[in-house]
Each structure stands twice: as structure tokens, then as C-alpha cells.
């Protein structure tokens, strides 16, 4: 398969042991009932094999819709998937952590329920390990709860099974003015600002940045936020210009086995047309 033939949202690439593993949201079941996640594999980033199902809904699992944004991170010798789930009965989406001893799964439920608060609508959890070795999850507190979408962080237990702190808001979507655009929704009388898809990236010069998505004049867009102290507990600011604003987003950055960097995101932001797009990325220019 080529990238254009892979119909997923929220692509995430894990380079591991000579193979690239790409995970994502199944576009066909994104907005309704869903039951699993897939992975695609490649040796050259051009030709891909798959899909290989890496997680399938257990019979007694609470979630039956909105299976979103699977990310796989290596931590202490195992593979951990951070993924968003929702249910028809509860209709309160949140992020959980799954685990496996292989990047191709099968992934099984690892965390003790949602990592995000049960009473919140949350999505797009990603992993961050501090310079002191403390694990965190960074996630979006959705606009439907707060109007002005938030990016939050919560410290995790060492075994990644539970949160051990209260969530802390790092920044809000409206901080991306003047380029962020509001959306209208029946749930809110005023402007609504979106936060999606945080991803942490440590630049080679030590700066800690975060990629995140929202809406801009050209549609779905990718922005950058920066910590002033190189860690999650710093003061965060948002760049005055978007990184990418051509109706594509929920991006992440990975480095090839040859040392090249790529930004990968889905484009266009329209079901069922979305597919992964790889863009050359030079962190020295941002």
C-alpha cells in the first residue's frame, strides 16, 4: 500500500528495530461505533503492509465508540498504547493506556480505568518522560466542556497504571490568537476554540516543544507551544504563526533510521478522504 491508500486519521509512527510501525484512527469508524486499532509496517516509508489489527475490543470492555488516536511509546522495555475511547451509554470520552510486549500487539488494557477524569470529556493522550524520569500524560480537555479547549498534563504512577496528581492546564487554544479560528456549535453561545493531538518533542538543543492542533483560516492546523524551562512544569507559550495550516493536523515528529526528521499528519481533515502525509521537518528552523 501507499500512504494515499491508507485511510486513517491521527497517524503516529514508531521506528523500532529496522521497521516503521504506523498506527492511527480507523477513518471509517471514527465518528461512531468502533472496536479496534490497526498498525501498518514499512521498511522504506513508501510501501506499507497491513492493516494488522493490534487491539480488538474485549467482550466486557466499557467503550464501544470513538476509538481515537492510538500512540505507541516504549517505556521500561514494553510497548504502551495511549488511546481515546467513548461509549454510547456514558458519552464521556477519555484516554486509557494499553500495553504489549510487541509493537504489533496484541495490546491489552493496562491502566486502572481512564487516566483522564471520568467527569470530563478528554482525548488524545500522549506520553512525556521528564528529565528526572517522571512519567506524564499530556491530553486535551475538550472544548465541549470548557469552550476554550485546554491542553493539560497529569503525572502518572511509575507503572503507568493510574494518575498520581490532579490535571494541570498548560495552555488554552485561544492563546494562539491571532491565527486560531473559533468554531460555532449549538452547545455554546460564544466562540469555541479547539485543542487536539498534543505531541511532545525534545529538540536537540534541549528545548521542549509541543505540537498540537486547532482550527485556522485554512482549516485544520498544526501549532507549536514552548516550555520556558525545558520541562512540563514550565510556563507555556504558543507561537504566533502556525506550523502547518492547510487543512491537515494531529501531527507528530519522528526520526528515520538515517537521521532525517519528518512531520506526519493527516490531510485533508475530511472523512473519508484523509490519509497520512509526511513532510520534511527541520527542528532548527522552528
Residue-wise pLDDT tens digits, 128-152: 999 999 999 999 999 999 999 999 9
Rounded to 5 degrees, φ, ψ at 191 are -70, 145
Nearest to 244 by CA among 225, 266, 221: 221
Its pTM stands at: 0.97
Average pLDDT over the chain, rounded to an integer? 97
For residue 54, count other CB atoms closer than 10 A to its CB: 24
What local confidence, expressed as pLDDT, does residue 190 receive?
Answer: 84
What class, spelled out in words, does domain 3-285 have in CATH? mainly beta
Statement: residue 223 has pLDDT above 90? yes
**Cα–Cα distance for residue pair 218/248, rounded to 1 Å:** 9
Cβ contacts of residue 163 below 8 Å, gap of 6+? Answer: 115, 137, 154, 155, 156, 157
Statement: residue 10 has pLDDT above 90? yes
Cα dihedral value 142, 268, 13, 49, nearest 10: 130
Across the range 1-9, mean pLDDT stands at 98
pLDDT one-digit tens code per residue, 178-193: 999 999 888 788 899 9
Higher-confidence residue of 190 and 278: namely 278
Cell numbers for 278: 509526511
SS3 57: coil
What local confidence, expressed as pLDDT, does residue 166 receive?
Answer: 98
**Cα–Cα distance for residue pair 88/65, rounded to 1 Å:** 7
**Cα–Cα distance for residue pair 260/218, rounded to 1 Å:** 28
Residue spans of the domains in the chain: they are 3-285
pLDDT one-digit tens code per residue, 17-53: 999 999 999 999 999 999 999 999 999 999 999 999 9
Please say whether the beta carbons of 250 and 9 come within 8 A. Answer: yes
Statement: residue 259 has pLDDT above 90? yes
pLDDT one-digit tens code per residue, 238-249: 999 999 999 999
pLDDT one-digit tens code per residue, 60-69: 999 999 999 9
Amino acid at each position: 500500500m501507499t500512504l494515499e491508500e491508507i485511510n486513517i486519521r491521527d497517524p503516529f509512527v514508531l521506528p523500532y528495530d529496522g521497521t516503521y510501525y504506523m498506527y492511527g484512527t480507523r477513518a471509517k469508524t471514527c465518528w461512531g461505533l468502533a472496536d479496534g486499532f490497526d498498525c501498518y509496517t514499512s521498511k522504506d516509508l513508501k510501501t506499507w503492509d497491513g492493516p494488522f489489527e493490534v487491539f480488538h475490543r474485549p467482550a466486557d470492555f466499557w467503550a464501544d465508540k470513538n476509538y481515537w488516536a492510538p500512540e505507541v511509546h516504549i517505556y521500561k522495555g514494553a510497548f504502551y498504547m495511549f488511546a481515546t475511547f467513548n461509549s454510547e451509554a456514558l458519552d464521556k470520552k477519555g484516554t486509557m493506556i494499553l500495553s504489549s510486549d510487541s509493537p504489533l500487539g496484541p495490546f491489552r488494557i493496562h491502566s486502572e480505568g481512564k487516566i483522564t477524569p471520568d467527569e470530563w470529556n478528554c482525548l488524545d493522550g500522549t506520553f512525556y518522560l521528564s528529565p528526572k524520569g517522571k512519567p506524564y500524560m499530556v491530553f486535551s480537555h475538550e472544548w465541549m466542556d470548557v469552550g476554550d479547549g485546554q491542553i493539560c498534563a497529569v503525572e502518572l504512577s511509575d507503572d503507568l497504571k493510574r494518575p498520581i496528581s490532579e490535571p494541570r492546564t498548560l495552555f488554552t487554544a485561544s492563546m494562539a490568537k491571532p491565527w486560531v479560528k473559533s468554531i460555532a456549535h449549538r452547545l455554546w453561545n460564544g466562540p469555541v476554540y479547539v485543542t487536539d493531538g498534543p505531541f511532545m518533542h525534545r529538540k536537540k538543543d534541549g528545548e521542549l516543544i509541543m505540537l498540537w492542533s486547532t482550527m485556522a483560516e485554512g482549516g485544520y492546523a498544526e501549532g507549536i507551544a514552548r516550555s520556558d524551562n525545558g520541562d512540563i512544569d514550565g510556563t507555556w507559550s504558543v507561537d504566533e504563526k502556525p506550523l502547518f495550516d492547510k487543512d491537515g493536523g494531529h501531527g507528530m515528529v519522528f526520526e528515520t533510521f538515517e537521521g532525517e526528521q519528518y512531520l506526519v499528519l493527516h490531510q485533508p481533515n475530511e472523512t473519508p478522504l484523509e490519509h497520512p502525509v509526511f513532510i520534511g521537518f527541520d527542528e532548527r528552523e522552528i
